[in-house]
Amino acid sequence: MSEITFLEAISLVCGTVVFLGSLRFLRRYLELKHEQRGPIAIEGVGERLARIELAVESTAVEVERISEANRFMAKLLAERANAASLPSRPERVITPH
């Protein structure tokens, strides 16, 4: 067997081993990544949604309070403007000193 054929055979065997090892490593890496992502995301989703729902509800209540206060102030200002106009400025009176 010639030296070149021997080197080609060894290169082919080593290349095949490295290629198969790389594929196996990649498959295992993807399996582990998938296992880590699934349970963690599913476990915390319920709690996170509950907290988000609570925050949205409290924000809605606060916005309603603010809009109620705006309506009340607008009503008071409208009644005040309609009920009594501002009195005109009194005339100046010259008093002796």
Helix (H, G, I), strand (E, B) or coil at 10: helix
Please state the pTM of the whole predicted model: 0.42
Confidence at residue 86, expressed as pLDDT on a 0 to 100 scale: 56
In angstroms, rounded to a whole number, what is the distance separating the alpha carbons of residues 50 and 47? 5
Question: What pLDDT sits at residue 17?
Answer: 95
DSSP label at residue 20: H
Q: Render each residue's pLDDT in the chain as its tens digit; 97 residues.
A: 689 899 999 999 999 999 999 999 999 999 988 877 655 567 778 889 999 999 999 999 999 999 999 999 999 998 887 766 655 677 787 887 6
Q: What does the H/E/C string look like for 36-82?
A: HHHHHHHHHHHHHHHHHHHHHHHHHHHHHHHHHHHHHHHHHHHHHHH
